[in-house]
Chains A and B, each alone.
Chain A
């Protein structure tokens, strides 16, 4: 099932299916290793539920929710 990264639950695991944004935002997202085929796990959210922290290839990244909106994830 494909869902938006914003809607993933804490500790949920998935594989990035697509990153649909160009320009600076897209570049930053990809530079950090968030490309299709990468496995991610939701590590947690900030006290105000935004930004979100993800586990990617053994490191922890943070994204704002409106940035996470560009990322579609394949989950079980």
Chain B
């Protein structure tokens, strides 16, 4: 197998750009086992001799502590897979801060090679770096690169290959952390050595260092392996810690960090770096920020950008979505024509084709959304959005970056929760991310709109705009309040520190955007697609089986025959012979309408008889508290497949045959006439539709993104319960006060 090279570096150091530049299309994305952190792997092939290297892109980190998931993943990879060499990408225009990670690699004794990236940007900023001197002082190769244009790529890989060939045992870097810590460190090191405490995985001094840094992962491992020694080591750390707090008013971990930076400063001071200008000088990026994050202009620009992203995602994807819908419609009707009528046709057309169409129908939406977000992310604007909105979202236990997911899901009515759920990938704080994931489905996605449109047109036609606005506000209020509720109950925990970098604005590269977009879209198709297809077949079966008994079918057949024989002679023949769209004579139209009514009545009876119908009937016991009858219940069960199905299922349940969600005139009239329906029940149903279980595509995406089926099930159960409680409250209180009655 080809030797492994790991790419490591701070976020925004150009690591992903370098990875794309090295591997090109020879890469694939997976997940690290058990966590949702993306694992990117690829192959580098040297052009002149075909020499191959296996390249792993580690998650971007600032440090090698064990606080964030990314850091744990990166560290575990280094320890467990022992890559032959680690290429540490360092932002040359930000050398001092970036070397903090490099020093930690050196302390660990990992063979590294430094890619001094973005030397062009550094030069423009008047920063001159003496590469040779830096290499000598650090004792590792340093290669200047510009990843965006591939400069220095060959030299870098040659240097990495050299390290692999030499197989030199590296002596870990020993920094002095001050006499108190140094003394404790060497004592602990000795104890660790003599007891072979975790030493098959880590070096003794490094273990001792991690004990002093209070590293949770190492502490837990130590406790599991040798509890007595672990306790002794912890006691030793306690002692130094007390001493440091009493004498210097500081903690060992702070002391260690300070000394690392001190070490970096001492190296840079030896003529490695030369600044031509004042370091606080403002660059064009800062000047942009003066406008873009301005107190007044900032929010306005942000609104415009968000509206633009929304327009871009939902307007421009309409065309390809239309093509896909057209294609699957054509495929469905084509297959209907070829296959004989019966269960097989129903399964293939209504179960499989509609199911696959449902999965792929989201693809253009997801691609456009990710492309738009990739532009915002790669250019650096997303970090500014988080910066500006954090104050508001923090109140609800969320993060400034949560806003994108909410908007895409339908924060402006008409989004989609599936790309919204996937947009939470840009959130780095795990608790805030989970709370966002679970609340984005409350937003009013495009599929809920036909349901609202139907009910508003039927019962509140005069106040259409006002009610739509209230619904949008209600969704935001509901989502934010539930997020708060989750954050003080089951996703409890302090806010993840916000400390983050505002990267300088950069022009995104098309290659980067394309790779970004494609890998996330493909992830959706591969992971969600298979499960969704299976579930759509299950839902189809629930609404089809058990079929009507033969005697019933026979009854409808007799009714049909009776209608035909009652019609004047020759009319039935005319109806049969005529082609679609042609003018019919009066009596023929009459007969056609009568036959359609029989078909619709049969469909209603069939639906009532099916498993879904029975569930709907059985649910009446509970749902009557919210005023929903079995027809509404089935429609809501159907809405689990996709929310717009609520409308078409209601149509079938009211014997109207297939109802096009865009054309609901007749259904609207039926509901208005039905004595069971009242404006009050409509309000309850609108609220229920807003909040109840996300559609199953969203549920699957939630499970995937949260890393456990538990959360998908939670979203279904919790949201439905919440929606039901709200609907019951509305119906009962409304009934008691006689509100919105007919």
Task: Give chain A's interface residues, CB within 8 Å of chain B.
Answer: 13, 18-20, 22-38, 41, 43-44, 46-51, 53, 55-64, 67
Interface contact B280-A67, CB-CB below 8 Å: no
Q: Which of B390-398, B417-425, B442-450 contacts A (4 or more CB under 8 A)?
A: B390-398
A-B contact pairs, 7 of them (CB 8 A): A20-B249, A23-B214, A30-B254, A30-B257, A31-B63, A33-B97, A36-B258
Interface contact B501-A57, CB-CB below 8 Å: no
Interface contact A64-B257, CB-CB below 8 Å: no
Chain B residues near A38 (CB-CB < 8 A): 261
Interface contact B254-A59, CB-CB below 8 Å: no
Q: How far does the alpha carbon of A25 sit from the alpha carbon of B294 in the complex, in Å?
A: 28
Chain A residues near B249 (CB-CB < 8 A): 18, 20
Task: For the complex, count residues of B whose C-beta is within 8 A of A.
Answer: 46
Q: Indicate the member of A36, A44, A57, A62 with the most B CB atoms within 10 Å.
A: A62
Interface contact A33-B261, CB-CB below 8 Å: yes
Q: Indicate the member of A20, A55, A60 with the most B CB atoms within 10 Å.
A: A60
Mostly, the A contact residues are mixed
Residue of A nearest to B93 (CB): A58
Interface contact A28-B497, CB-CB below 8 Å: yes
Asked whether any CB of chain A lies closer than 8 Å to the CB of B387, the reply is: yes
Within 8 Å by CB of A26, from B62, B254, B286, lies B254
Q: How many A-B residue pairs have CB under 8 A?
A: 127
A54 shortest CB reach to chain B, Å: 10
Interface string of B230-244 (1 = CB under 8 A from A): 000000000000000
Residue of B nearest to A63 (CB): B499
Q: How far does the alpha carbon of A25 sit from the alpha carbon of B392 in the complex, in Å?
A: 21
Within 8 Å by CB of A60, from B254, B257, B296, B502, lies B502
Asked whether any CB of chain A lies closer than 8 Å to the CB of B594, the reply is: no
A69 shortest CB reach to chain B, Å: 12
B117 shortest CB reach to chain A, Å: 14
Chain A residues near B67 (CB-CB < 8 A): 24, 27-28
Within 8 Å by CB of A46, from B290, B296, B391, B500, lies B391
Asked whether any CB of chain A lies closer than 8 Å to the CB of B96, the reply is: yes
Asked whether any CB of chain A lies closer than 8 Å to the CB of B630, the reply is: no
Within 8 Å by CB of A48, from B294, B391, B497, B498, lies B391
B657 shortest CB reach to chain A, Å: 54
Chain A residues near B257 (CB-CB < 8 A): 27, 30-31, 35
Residue of A nearest to B213 (CB): A27
Chain B residues near A61 (CB-CB < 8 A): 499-502
Chain B residues near A67 (CB-CB < 8 A): 497-499
Interface contact B62-A32, CB-CB below 8 Å: yes
Q: How far does the alpha carbon of A64 sit from the alpha carbon of B253 in the complex, in Å?
A: 22
Asked whether any CB of chain A lies closer than 8 Å to the CB of B597, the reply is: no
Q: How far does the alpha carbon of A48 sit from the alpha carbon of B389 in the complex, in Å?
A: 8
Interface contact A27-B65, CB-CB below 8 Å: yes
Within 8 Å by CB of A59, from B97, B261, B499, lies B97
Interface contact A60-B96, CB-CB below 8 Å: no
Interface contact A58-B499, CB-CB below 8 Å: no
A46-B293, A58-B125 known; A26+B251 contact, CB < 8 A: yes
